[in-house]
């Protein structure tokens, strides 16, 4: 959990009066020292007031049935997320192989259509691209 998530949970617990007395006092001292924390707490307080002011909405009649069906389906398909990961892993590997193959084919096509762009590495001694070209003389090392 990140520090931001922890701070948000602490503020929420403070506003809901769920903090033990010692933690609430420590949080109040923190609020006295930090104007940013006070501003964030005030923003959270305003947002909660806005949410409480919203009218209550009734869920559709089949809402609970649909939610419980989805929960059951997910728990059957992925008891610990293992089933989904085992199914998706081959597709991930296949995607990587397709991308690498496409990149290799593209590079081979570029080399076939534009061989003049190939240059010999001057550090490689005795290697020639074409047998018709003379070998380059050795270059002194660059300081």
- DSSP secondary structure code for residue 142 in this structure: P
Closest CA to 116 of 133, 102, 100, 99: 133
Q: Give pTM, 2 decimals.
A: 0.41
Structure confidence at residue 83 as a pLDDT band (50, 70, 90): low
Last residue of a domain, one of 29, 53, 77: 53
What is the pLDDT confidence band of residue 93, given thresholds at 50, 70 and 90?
A: confident
Q: Are the CB atoms for 134 and 126 separated by under 8 Å?
A: no
Residue 50 · residue 42 · CB < 8 Å:
no
> Which domain does 78 fall in, by range?
63-116
- Domain boundary residue, one of 35, 53, 71: 53
70/111 same-domain check: yes
When pLDDT is cut at 50, 70 and 90, the band that residue 7 belongs to is: confident
Tokens of 62: 């089949």
pLDDT for position 76: 65
């Amino acid at each position: 959990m990140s520090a931001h998530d922890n701070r948000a949970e602490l503020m929420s617990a403070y506003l809901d009066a769920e903090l033990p007395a010692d933690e609430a006092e420590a949080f109040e001292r923190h609020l006295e020292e930090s104007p940013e924390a006070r501003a964030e707490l005030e923003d959270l307080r305003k947002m909660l007031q806005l949410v409480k002011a919203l009218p209550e909405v009734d869920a559709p009649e089949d809402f609970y049935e649909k939610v419980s069906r989805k929960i059951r389906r997910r728990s059957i398909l992925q008891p610990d997320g293992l089933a989904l990961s085992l199914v998706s892993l081959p597709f991930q590997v296949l995607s990587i192989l397709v991308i690498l193959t496409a990149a290799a084919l593209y590079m081979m096509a570029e080399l076939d259509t534009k061989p003049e762009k190939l240059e010999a590495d001057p550090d490689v001694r005795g290697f020639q691209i074409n047998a018709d070209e003379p070998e380059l003389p050795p270059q002194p090392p660059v300081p």
